[in-house]
């Protein structure tokens, strides 16, 4: 795990950027705007979303937008745990968090691929 520190940091950085730039608007539309019916009824939004994300570009955006923040959170939480006073469990905690992010990525690829 220690040998891959640059990789974890690059994923952390990429995930932070995606989380900062894409997530607020995407989350707002999908989890607030659509449920409250501000942008059409469920059938309309269903058809619109299916059309938007039926192509490889749209699906790539979804995978990147959903999976990279997992890596971001995993890395930051790993440092958070160290700072709470547990530097000696770093190897265990870090491996666990990165494994979770990996599983999250695989699930995301599967779910988006099923669209």
The nearer residue to another protein, 20 or 99, going by C-beta atoms, is 20
Shortest distance, position 52 Cβ to another protein, whole Å: 6
Shortest distance, position 105 Cβ to another protein, whole Å: 10
Which positions ≥6 away from 10 have C-beta within 8 Å? none
Under the rule (CB under 8 A), what is the footprint of another protein? 2, 5-10, 15-17, 19-37, 39-40, 42-50, 52-53, 62, 65-67, 69-70, 72-74, 76-77, 79-80, 82-87, 104, 107-108, 111-112, 114-115
Q: Which residue in the block uniquely carries the two structure tokens 């997530």?
A: 23
Shortest distance, position 90 Cβ to another protein, whole Å: 9
Long-range contacts of 35-41 (CB under 8 A, 24+ apart): none
Alpha helices (runs of H) in the chain, residue ranges in sequence order: 5-21, 23-28, 42-52, 56-83, 90-113
Shortest distance, position 89 Cβ to another protein, whole Å: 11
Give dist(CA 53, CA 55) in Å, integer: 5
């Amino acid at each position: 795990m220690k040998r891959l520190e640059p990789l974890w940091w690059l994923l952390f950085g990429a995930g932070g950027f995606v989380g900062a730039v894409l997530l607020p608007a995407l989350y707002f539309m999908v989890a607030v705007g659509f449920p409250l019916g501000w942008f059409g009824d469920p059938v309309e939004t269903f058809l619109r979303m299916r059309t938007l994300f039926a192509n490889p570009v749209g699906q790539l955006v979804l995978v990147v937008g959903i999976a990279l923040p997992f890596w971001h959170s995993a890395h930051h939480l790993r440092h958070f745990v160290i700072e709470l006073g547990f530097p000696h469990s770093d190897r265990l905690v870090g491996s666990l968090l990165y494994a979770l992010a990996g599983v999250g990525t695989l699930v995301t690829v599967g779910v988006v691929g099923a669209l």
